[in-house]
Structure 1
Amino acid sequence: MCGIVFSAHWPRDADVSDNRHAAVLNELVQRLQTANTARGPDAQQTRRISVGDAELGFFASELRLRGDEPVVQPHVHAESGDIFCWNGEVFEGLNGVDLHENDGVKLFAAIVGIGDVLQLPDLLATVEGPYAFVYYHHISRRVFFARDPLGRRSLLIHRPSAGNPYFLLTSVSAGPHVGYDLSEVDTECIHMLDVQHLDMHDPVGKFAGCLHRLPRLSSAMASVDAPFAAPATINRTLPSSDPEPPMLESLDSIPSHLSSAVDSLFAHLDQSVSQQVCNIPPVLPRSGSRAARVAVLFSGGIDSTMLAFLAHRHAPLDEPIDLLNVAFENPRKIRVQLEGNVGGMTKKEKKTRARKEAAGETVEGSYDHDYLVPDRVTGLREVEELRRLCPGRLWNFVEIDVPYSESQGARSAVESLMWPRHTIMDLSLAMALYFASRGVGQFRSDPDAEPEAFTSHARVLLNGLGSDELLGGYGRHRTAYNTGGWQAVIDELQLEIDRIPTRNLGRDDRMIAAHGKETRHPFLALGVVRFLAELPVHHKLDPRLGVGVGDKTLLRLAARKVGLVEASARKKRAMQFGSHSARMENGVDRGSGGLDISEMTACA
């Protein structure tokens, strides 16, 4: 994980307005560099060059997770003069990245060596992993920048405007600011800025004509030779209607037509997790025998539990794995528990409470009931299942309890990090990720033991995001079937893949990286995406079945087959509701997507 700040401006001598713009830019760049340093605490460096009338600034910070030798960015090629800022991981491609190699160094060498710089998209189409980068090609005076096809790493862009006539790229914002108008860099192409043809007298007017979009796959390259140019498209073959696909009788019995798909899903996920947890450098500083290299954002649901189980298969057995479980003190929820729902409970809420009481969803021991949120309850249950299935592994179940006062005290920092995203839903999810990834909490040796203060030092965090989109885990997939049959489900699953790059990954990356940690998404490895996209729709889910069986059916069967019995039957629950990070105060409009912008004042 690294932080990138790139700036380009066109100074004009003895121009009062330009001096003012330069002062704003310099102050803003300093703030952006500070914010990006948190992403890469191991090393930081700045490089500035002049290209005709333009002044270019490159800043990169480094979180060292690959190779034996310390690396300081930006990478500079002494002979060509090319400059490369890399924020990513190469898990496949480049003929493999050796245990002792740094992937950024190896990729930069491959880029410099391709000859024709316009073949850069073809090279990147053979590389799998999350990334964002800025590359300056000295001979052509061009700047190339992009995110990976799924947008798993953040990169924000400010285009020159009349009020702010300079160009910016940054991994993370400094919050609302009068000096920029940021948006996410789109993932559909490789972007190329022709610096030498920008006019210092009219950088705003000339900018659009100098910013070009290069296709991720050239016409000269076959898609089979470019497996990572773009996410795969959904198999649009409809299930037979005469007869209908057979319905699953029980998760305990895998139908013959799904047996191969279950095994293949497990193999693809297993390979993805292996690529993402092996060869992580040792934790520094070590925290006794409980220092883990890898952690899982852990709710006890099927996605995070499957990732924890697979991480166990590949992480050294003598090292623990941290399970980060976050719970918020939510005054509104606590008030309802103590006083009942003022104004009366709905029928749905009454049924939910009765079901929970009937299921005995309580946890024995000395737990603070203000933090026995749904994800804490399922997390505590699921860690016991993992301990039974994975003898010899030390699981650090980290209780991350967030008092209301602490969450409100961090709100301005969270809003700054998630910017330019700014809805109430963004805030709820960002809060949960911010505190979970920080990893500051407590640990118990058993449920009745007194908690001990604990901080996770793991720099790699596994995240289960992507399984619902790929395997049909949302209620809208069932709704689609009820309104339009299997064809509507196929259409909805294609929309899910199409929307992944524009949804939450950039925001999530900014939140987690703020603690000098890196999130990895095994379900979103492009090989896993391709495998699941190409499966017939009825091999992945069955909306005819009940919730907890018909959604993500294939993953549930795989989990049950390896012994994750409890996890395989758990129903979907969104992070913000499972952790109680959502709707902490009364009076918040449930349907509102907008945050009160007056509370996020732009800095002068």
Structure 2
Amino acid sequence: MILQLSELINRAVEQTLEDRVAISFSGGVDSTVIASVAKKHADVELFTAGAEGSPDMLCAEKVATELGLQLNRVLLDENIAMDAYAKCHSMLKLDLLKLGILVPVYCVAQAAVKKGHSVLLFGSGAEELFVGYERYYLYKEEGKDLESLLKDEFRTLPQRDIGWIKKVCRNCGLEARFPFYNKDLAEVMFSVPLEERMDDRELKKGVLREAAKVLGAPKTALMRKKKAMQYGSGVHKMLIRRADEINRAYPALLSRPL
């Protein structure tokens, strides 16, 4: 099954490539497996946005070196993050937590455009396919119909994360593509028993990590735990420190008081 999965991932990534392509990169397993495949078929540049010394920045630097790929570091501070937040808010009227995810997306997209890229790849869809969130394990323990929930969350990604990322990137002047949001890949993964997809609660996405190993992903990425973009980049901390300013500017859009 792992060999079949690695072949499907290889094909899914290939289908999203141009001769030259940018990848939103954190050094985690999702973006690393995309980069591991893409570099065999295209001219690839990696882009990471975050605070100096943030988990994403440190891991991305190490894994990019191991992959032998160029990493473009987009360093963020509070003022840059707040400016990006305002830009994202003008495009999408979402709450702070959701906009916090899009701040590094916006900054990476801007950097990729400046380097002449027209396509930017993201790892969205991997969490739903490979059961990557802790809340999924909690849902299962609570007796919820996790299989149906996963399928529904995957199906509706274009109305949520993928749709938001596409809009931000389109406003920046490039196209966002998502190798994991792939019909063939979904058909195979949703036929795999949940127990097999959930056999590694510590690292999560064990099946993907095994396929990534076959595809040549470095061990550093294979062993990295999931960290959401707004946390791994350090953006969430920056926005929290500016909570009063955000409360005044966007009072109706907070999901909860800060």
The normalised TM-score by structure 2 is 0.87
Shift of 1:560: 2.3
Shift of 1:294: 0.3
Output the CA distance in 1 between the equivalents of 2:196 and 2:3: 12
Q: Does 1:313 align with 2:40?
A: yes
User: Which structure has the larger Rg?
Assistant: 1
Q: Verify the 8 A CA contact 1:302 1:567 in the aligned structure 2.
A: yes
Aligned pairs for 1:375-414 within 5 A? 375-387=56-68, 395-414=69-88
Deviations 1:43-67 (A, max 9, x none): xxxxxxxxxxxxxxxxxxxxxxxxx
Secondary structure at 1:567's aligned position in 2? helix
Output the CA distance in 2 between the equivalents of 1:275 and 1:526: 12
AA paired with 1:431? V
Aligned pairs for 1:550-589 within 5 A? 551-564=204-217, 565-584=219-238, 585-586=240-241, 588=243
Give the one of 193, 198, 202 matched to 1:547.
Answer: 202
Output the CA distance in 2 between the equivalents of 1:513 and 1:398: 20
Q: Verify the 8 A CA contact 1:480 1:492 in the aligned structure 2.
A: no
Measured at CA, do residues 501 and 462 of structure 1 come closer, stay the same or move farther in structure 2, by a change above 3 Å?
closer
Residue in 2 aligned with 1:508?
Answer: 165
Output the CA distance in 1 between the equivalents of 2:90 and 2:209: 38
Shift of 1:264: 1.2
Give the one of 40, 48, 63 matched to 1:325.
Answer: 48
Secondary structure at 1:582's aligned position in 2? helix
Measured at CA, do residues 546 and 528 of structure 1 come closer, stay the same or move farther in structure 2, by a change above 3 Å?
closer
Output the CA distance in 2 between the equivalents of 1:412 and 1:526: 34
Measured at CA, do residues 417 and 383 of structure 1 come closer, stay the same or move farther in structure 2, by a change above 3 Å?
same
Deviations 1:281-320 (A, max 9, x none): xxxxxxxxxxxx20110000000000000101211xxx4x
Give the one of 459, 465, 468 matched to 2:127.
Answer: 468
Aligned pairs for 1:102-251 within 5 A? none
Measured at CA, do residues 598 and 458 of structure 1 come closer, stay the same or move farther in structure 2, by a change above 3 Å?
closer
Deviations 1:115-171 (A, max 9, x none): xxxxxxxxxxxxxxxxxxxxxxxxxxxxxxxxxxxxxxxxxxxxxxxxxxxxxxxxx
Residue in 1 aligned with 2:138?
Answer: 479
Secondary structure at 1:514's aligned position in 2? helix
Measured at CA, do residues 311 and 498 of structure 1 come closer, stay the same or move farther in structure 2, by a change above 3 Å?
closer
Q: Does 1:417 align with 2:91?
A: yes
Fraction of identical pairs, as percent? 27
Secondary structure at 1:324's aligned position in 2? strand
AA paired with 2:137? R
Give the one of 534, 547, 572 matched to 2:191.
Answer: 534
Shift of 1:557: 0.8
Output the CA distance in 2 between the equivalents of 1:509 and 1:277: 16
Residue ranges of structure 1 left out of the alignment (5+ in a row)? 1-260, 281-292, 329-370, 388-394, 441-453, 600-604
The aligned length equals: 249
Q: Verify the 8 A CA contact 1:541 1:552 in the aligned structure 2.
A: yes
Deviations 1:436-486 (A, max 9, x none): 11117xxxxxxxxxxxxx9422211110000001110000122133333xx
Shift of 1:598: 8.9
Output the CA distance in 2 between the equivalents of 1:558 and 1:314: 18
Q: Verify the 8 A CA contact 1:428 1:582 in the aligned structure 2.
A: yes
Runs of 4+ off more than 4 Å: none
Residue in 1 aligned with 2:106?
Answer: 434
Secondary structure at 1:296's aligned position in 2? strand
Output the CA distance in 2 between the equivalents of 1:396 and 1:598: 37
Output the CA distance in 1 between the equivalents of 2:123 and 2:253: 34
Residue ranges of structure 2 left out of the alignment (5+ in a row)? none
Deviations 1:480-502 (A, max 9, x none): 33333xx7442432342344243
Q: Verify the 8 A CA contact 2:124 2:161 in the aligned structure 1.
A: no
Output the CA distance in 1 between the equivalents of 2:115 and 2:29: 22
Residue in 2 aligned with 1:373?
Answer: 54
Shift of 1:579: 0.6
Shift of 1:382: 0.8
Shift of 1:528: 1.6
Measured at CA, do residues 415 and 540 of structure 1 come closer, stay the same or move farther in structure 2, by a change above 3 Å?
same
Aligned pairs for 1:23-172 within 5 A? none
Q: Verify the 8 A CA contact 2:36 2:215 in the aligned structure 1.
A: no
Give the one of 254, 261, 273 matched to 2:13.
Answer: 273
Q: Does 1:521 align with 2:178?
A: yes
Output the CA distance in 1 between the equivalents of 2:8 and 2:90: 37
AA paired with 2:94? H
- More relative contact order, 1 or 2 (CA 8 Å, 6+ apart): 2
Further displaced range: 501-510 or 514-523: 501-510
AA paired with 2:49? V
Aligned pairs for 1:443-458 within 5 A? 455-458=114-117
Q: Verify the 8 A CA contact 2:88 2:106 in the aligned structure 1.
A: yes
AA paired with 1:516? G
Q: Verify the 8 A CA contact 1:299 1:376 in the aligned structure 2.
A: yes
Higher helix share: 2
AA paired with 1:325? T
